[in-house]
Structures are given as structure tokens and as C-alpha cells.
Amino acid sequence: MNQESITVRIFERDYRLLVSPDDVEMVSNLAENLNHRMDSFKQHYGDQPDLIAAVFIALELAQELYEEKESSNELLAAIDRETDYLNRVIELTAQQTSTISQ
């Protein structure tokens, strides 16, 4: 599998990563976002160890992911309800059309 080596900087440390060429930009952007979050945390809570900052950011990201999944599930449920409704309307319309044409 074709892999590309990139270096990302997170919290004043460089990490060499092997990623798919298609993922280089995404991984770089994610690392930049993570680095920004870590820096922001340390600016506000500079007395906390780096590991605590990493755990806090991980929990923050996990919360965001959870909220996005919940939102996605709510949207999917709404789509399912709307699809069921539209299917019933189509069935009733087909039945009415069939009755009229007989």
C-alpha cells in the first residue's frame, strides 16, 4: 500500500506519520487543530501537566463526537419517519388511482 511520510507538530513535539497520500491534508489539518486545542488549554491552565492537557482534549473531542452522533441519529430517525409517511402517501395515491381507473 502506498504510504506517504509526513511530520506533524503537536504540543511542541514533532511526530512522523505514515499516511495514505489521499489523507495527507486531512491528517495535517487534524493535527493542526489538535495542536491549537492543546496550546489553548495550556494558555488557560498552564499549571497542568501535559498528560492532563492531552486527556482533557481527548475527553472534549469524545464529547463532540458523541454529540455529533446523537444529532446524526436524530436526523436519521426524522428521515425514517418522513420516508414512512411519504411511502404511505404513495401507497394511498396508487390505491386511489387504481380505484378511479377501474
Cα–Cα distance, 39 to 31 (Å, whole number): 12
pLDDT of 100 higher than 90: no
Cα–Cα distance, 34 to 10 (Å, whole number): 7
Cα–Cα distance, 64 to 71 (Å, whole number): 11
What is the rounded average pLDDT for all residues in the chain? 94
Q: What does the pLDDT read at residue 96?
A: 87
Cα–Cα distance, 55 to 67 (Å, whole number): 18
Q: Average pLDDT for residues 53-72, to the nearest whole number? A: 97
Cα–Cα distance, 11 to 33 (Å, whole number): 11
Q: How crowded is residue 4: how many other Cβ atoms within 10 Å of its Cβ?
A: 13
pTM of the model: 0.72
Please give the residue that has the higher pLDDT: either 97 or 70. 70
pLDDT tens digits, 41-50:
999 998 999 9
Among 15, 18, 42, which residue's Cα sits nearest to residue 31? 15
